Structure 1
Amino acid sequence: MRAVVMERFGGPEVLRVREVEDPEPGPGQVLVAVEYAGITFVETQVRAGSGPWGRPPLPRIPGNGVGGRVVAVGSGVDPGLAGATVVSTTGGTGGYAELAVADAREAIALPAGLSLRDAVALLADGRTAVLQHRRARIEPGEWVLVEAAAGGVGSLLVQLATASGAEVIGAARGPDKGELVASLGAAAYVDYSLPGWERTVAETTGGEGVDLVFDGVGGRIGAQGLAALRTGGRAVIYGMASGSWTEPDDRVRVVPGTALGAAEIRAAAQEALGHAVAGRLRPVIGQTYPLARAADAHRAIEARATTGKTLLIP
């Protein structure tokens, strides 16, 4: 099969398509003929050797979320699963390929009324957004700032927060993303490439500051986002796209996270898919790339030249 193989850490150029042996499902596993593979920002950090969980062993095939048809099952797996169309995580590796192995317990049958493309777009970002939204406990009428609001997770958080009755301010880089963020329900858009954007956020609320910040960026942007909070406001810190976590001060109440098991994370993904079927959540798929252009996809993501979710098509 064809797969993207990474033999060293570095820039996007280390992602190269190779012919490799077809994988075989082991006990408790399924083999999926991949139609779509999701890309997350964290995967670009892992490729560069700066991921939040250290450096994984090499060589490796990147990719942790796929969708397609089950073409084989390992021992101990219901044979009836063969032929089913599913979305699944892959355990952190193997997704950028024509065939991918996944734990059968992680495979989620494609819900009726949802395209496979949308389901793959929601698999990782959807569960993240659902879990962070749940963690925030938004009250109707609150002012909520969503960083990276035109991105995969951010675009979903805008929708979930709006559905909870919040007044959402979406923040992203560049003036061209405002229309998209507004279409998702945001009350206002702020370009955080502009100096003093955090003051604009506070002014939008009438000078009081926002009640809640969803911070998936970290670094300078994260710190500026937290500066837009009212005193005693709260922050959900869930990512470090900048390369470093946001360090809050004493005036900010960080909403604590909880350790979740695989079953709870899978349930959050299913909840996101259910929201999409019901029309309550719309994934934004900004761009797709063929497998051979995985390096170009990573370049675009790192350059902040993408909107919504980026997918690979083997």
Structure 2
Amino acid sequence: MRAAVVTRFGGPEVIEVREWPEPVAGAGEVVVDVEVTDVIWVETAIRQGNLGGYFDVSPPYVPGSSLGGRVHSVGAGVDEEWIGKTVVGRIAGFGAHAERVAVPADSLVELPAQLGVEAAVAVLNDGLTTLMLERSAPGLAGKKVLITAAAGGMGLLLIQLAHKAGAHVVAAARGQAKLDLAKAQGADVAVDYTTPAWEKSVLEATKGIDVVLDGAGGAYGTAAFDTVKDGGWFSAHGTPGGGFAAYDEAEAKRRGITVRGIMDVQADGGPVSNSDVITRALAGDLVPVIDRVFALDRLGDAHRAIEDRALLGKALLRIR
């Protein structure tokens, strides 16, 4: 079968479509004929070799984690009624950017007819973290909420949830097209965080933020921390800006600001399942914005688009 393979650590050019061993369903697994997978920022950082401390992977490897497709075969202990069903799910580690993938059956969700496979795959990865953040954060009704990396796949979902919860939503992103998209999804205020002292304009407009959902990290996240009110809440869960947001722990303690990192969010958010995400998508609470769908042999282009901050919403990869 064909798969997109990271042949060595480096730029997008290290990704090649190669023949790869066919998977065999083990006990409790099914093999899925993959139709669509998603592409997320962290995969570009892993490909560069920058996240060895977090992900135990070395080339050659097949990236990708979330997928949708049709069940091809089942392993021991799995009901044969799964065969032929259209499903979505996530695999532990990597390997989704391939024509077939072995997946634990209990991690899969049969796709309802009302939800297309592209929409389901687009919402799955980001939706899990979004729902964890929803559970972890204090109640958002009536609160002033700042969302950074607001025009990315997860940022847009967070805008939707915060808006529906009754928050005053401030979106921070890069460029007018992304600001317009954030406002279309429910942001009340949109700020370009590539402009100097952007955080001061947020403070002037809001008199202080109650909750920050920082998906950008780096200097953007550090500036976002400076907008938080005394007694506020700050989630540092994103790294595209160059690592998780740095902040002064002593100042956070002195001002009574609760800070949560990505591991804290996963713990505080409790168990959130793939099924929970699909249920909320069907209810209209999570509506993914898909910008571009790339062919399997254009995965390198998808990585470039993410690294260049050229996407408005999600990138997907169509396998077949």
Distance 1:282 1:26, change over 3 A: same
**Distance in 2 separating the partners of 1:25 and 1:260:** 31
Contact 1:146–1:170, Cα closer than 8 Å, also in 2: yes
User: Counterpart in 2 of 1:35?
Assistant: 35
User: Counterpart in 2 of 1:313?
Assistant: 318
Q: TM-score, normalised by structure 1?
A: 0.94
Pick from 262, 268, 271: which aligns with 1:264?
A: 271
For residue 98 of structure 1, report the CA deviation from its aligned partner: 1.1
Q: Does 1:17 align with 2:17?
A: yes
User: Counterpart in 2 of 1:244?
Assistant: 243
SS of residue paired to 1:56: coil
User: Counterpart in 1 of 2:292?
Assistant: 287
User: Counterpart in 2 of 1:275?
Assistant: 280
Contact 1:50–1:243, Cα closer than 8 Å, also in 2: no
Unaligned runs of 5+ in 1: none
For residue 258 of structure 1, report the CA deviation from its aligned partner: 5.5
Contact 1:67–1:120, Cα closer than 8 Å, also in 2: yes
- State the Cα deviation string for residues 143-202 of structure 1 (Å, max 9, x = none): 000001110110000011111110001111112212211111110100111111111111
Distance 1:157 1:91, change over 3 A: same
For residue 118 of structure 1, report the CA deviation from its aligned partner: 0.5
User: Counterpart in 2 of 1:253?
Assistant: 258
SS of residue paired to 1:76: coil
Percent of matched pairs sharing the same residue: 42
Q: Does 1:167 align with 2:157?
A: no
Runs of 4+ in structure 1 over 3 Å off: 258-261
The 5 A counterparts of 1:14-163 are 14-51=14-51, 53-163=54-164
Contact 1:135–1:236, Cα closer than 8 Å, also in 2: no
Contact 2:132–2:265, Cα closer than 8 Å, also in 1: no
SS of residue paired to 1:77: coil
**Distance in 2 separating the partners of 1:196 and 1:259:** 31
**Distance in 2 separating the partners of 1:6 and 1:258:** 30
For residue 238 of structure 1, report the CA deviation from its aligned partner: 1.4
For residue 21 of structure 1, report the CA deviation from its aligned partner: 2.7
- State the Cα deviation string for residues 267-311 of structure 1 (Å, max 9, x = none): 2x3222212212222111111100000000001101111121110
**Distance in 1 separating the partners of 2:92 and 2:133:** 21
User: Counterpart in 2 of 1:215?
Assistant: 214
Unaligned runs of 5+ in 2: none
SS of residue paired to 1:231: strand
Contact 1:46–1:55, Cα closer than 8 Å, also in 2: no
Alignment-mate amino acid for residue 4 of structure 1 = A
For residue 260 of structure 1, report the CA deviation from its aligned partner: 4.9
User: Counterpart in 2 of 1:303?
Assistant: 308
User: Counterpart in 1 of 2:228?
Assistant: 229
Contact 2:31–2:101, Cα closer than 8 Å, also in 1: yes
For residue 76 of structure 1, report the CA deviation from its aligned partner: 1.3
**Distance in 1 separating the partners of 2:192 and 2:298:** 29
For residue 255 of structure 1, report the CA deviation from its aligned partner: 3.8
Contact 1:138–1:161, Cα closer than 8 Å, also in 2: no
Equivalenced residue count is: 309
For residue 54 of structure 1, report the CA deviation from its aligned partner: 4.0
**Distance in 2 separating the partners of 1:119 and 1:243:** 29
**Distance in 2 separating the partners of 1:254 and 1:53:** 21
SS of residue paired to 1:264: coil
**Distance in 2 separating the partners of 1:24 and 1:32:** 10
For residue 97 of structure 1, report the CA deviation from its aligned partner: 1.0
Greater Cα offset, 91-100 or 270-279? 270-279
SS of residue paired to 2:271: helix
**Distance in 2 separating the partners of 1:275 and 1:182:** 21
**Distance in 2 separating the partners of 1:118 and 1:60:** 26
Contact 2:132–2:266, Cα closer than 8 Å, also in 1: no
SS of residue paired to 2:280: helix
Distance 1:284 1:258, change over 3 A: closer
